[in-house]
A = this chain, B = another copy of it.
Amino acid sequence: MVTLKDLATTLGVSVSTVSKALKDSPEISEETIKRVKNIAKELNYRPNTLALSLKNRKTMTIGVLIPDILNKFFSKILYGLELEAQKSGYQIITCLTNESLEREKKALDLLSNGSVDGFILSCARETQTENSIDHFKNIIDQGTPIVMFDRVANDVDCDKVIMDDYKAAYQATKKLISEGRENIVLFDRLEGLSVGKLRILGYRKAIEQSTEYQSQPKIHSTTDDQGSTTEYLTKMLKDDPSIDGLLCIDNIAGVKAVGAAQRLGKNIPQDLSVIGFASDDIYDLCYPKLTTVAQRASQIGQQSVKMLIDRIENNNEVKHSTTATVNFGLDLRGTTL
């Protein structure tokens, strides 16, 4: 590693002269600047980030905690985060918490000693079920800002980025109603996450509020334990052949539903409209392609970074915490009319 000192000694000047010269300081003569820069390039000098961070008390690094990187939703977020961070010259250091509260605590612990200027995170499942929040509060009290996205802890006072799951389900359901569907089922495979409940509420609301739609809300659900989703869907469609609208509020059930319906001889979308919630790009794994309600995952990432950097760089102004809402988009494809 080439250091300032190395440059200084080979040039026979002082370290501070070199330091200033590299920053084009007006204090230094044109000529010296040139000499310094030349030798710096020649020896491939690169400033030591660690030393800079130590000096400046600023790391230009964001700690990111991801509950489950195998979930495409989160990898998309990570993608958005990285993109936006890079724009502003920030690095990202990623920790995977694997849905574990303990890992979450450890990760926070490990990085909250000057390694990082702030955190962007989504709570581990365990953190949500146990409603554990002290570890977050500690960090914030220490003066390190946190931005939470998607799975947020309501009782922690920090900036947040969430999605409007309620509205998304509401609009998807309205789309089905507007097609003139008369037996619209909601299919659920989520496991007690707060977002699932909001989606159900949105579905209910759309149906109850509609004057044209006559039936009651009808909700089917299954978990992984109860055998294959495909089998469940097949049985459901067979038992109730009048189902003509289907809103699947999890990732992949939509694709499976299309396949199951087609094997039962149904025409999609003439006989049955299907809309899925998707963070995975799985919409073209059936034919026709699946109409989805899509989370704008990369947008969430971008928004989070913006909010965090704003905090980091203007931490003097004491602002109230804000919560940003990112809307879903209804991407119409072939499984709806």
Residues of chain A having any CB pair with chain B under 8 Å: 1, 44, 46-51, 53-54, 59, 61, 69-70, 72, 75-76, 78-79, 82-83, 91-96, 109-110, 112-115, 138, 142, 228, 230, 252, 255-256, 259-260, 262-263, 281-282, 284-287
Contact = CB atoms under 8 A, between A and B. Distances in A.
Contact of A49 (B48, B78, B113, B138): B113
Given A46-B109, A69-B75, A285-B256, A82 B54 contact: no
Contact of A50 (B76, B92, B114, B287): B114
Contacts of A285: 252, 255-256, 259, 282, 285-286
Contacts of A94: 78, 82, 92-94
5 contacts: A46-B113, A70-B76, A72-B75, A83-B96, A93-B94
Given A252-B285, A285-B285, A93 B96 contact: no
Nearest to A78: B69
Given A69-B78, A79-B96, A110-B91, A115 B255 contact: no
A319 to B, nearest CB: 22
A75 B67 CA distance: 13
A48 B54 CA distance: 9
A31 to B, nearest CB: 27
A79 B27 CA distance: 50
Instruction: Count the copies.
Output: 2
B46 A112 contact: yes
A75 to B, nearest CB: 5
A254 to B, nearest CB: 10
Given A54-B50, A82-B95, A114-B1, A259 B287 contact: yes
Contacts of A252: 285
A51 B54 contact: yes
A309 B72 CA distance: 29
Nearest to A288: B230
A70 B59 contact: no
A76 B51 CA distance: 34
Contacts of A70: 72, 75-76, 79, 281
Contact of A1 (B113, B286, B287): B113
Contacts of A114: 1, 48-51
A94 B82 CA distance: 9
Nearest to A76: B70
Considering the complex of A and B, which 4 residue pairs feature the smallest CB-CB distances, nearest first? A46-B113, A94-B94, A82-B96, A48-B114
Contacts of A69: 75, 78-79, 82
A54 B79 CA distance: 30
A337 to B, nearest CB: 20
A230 B49 contact: no
Contacts of A112: 46
A76 B54 CA distance: 34
Given A94-B94, A96-B82, A282-B282, A50 B53 contact: yes
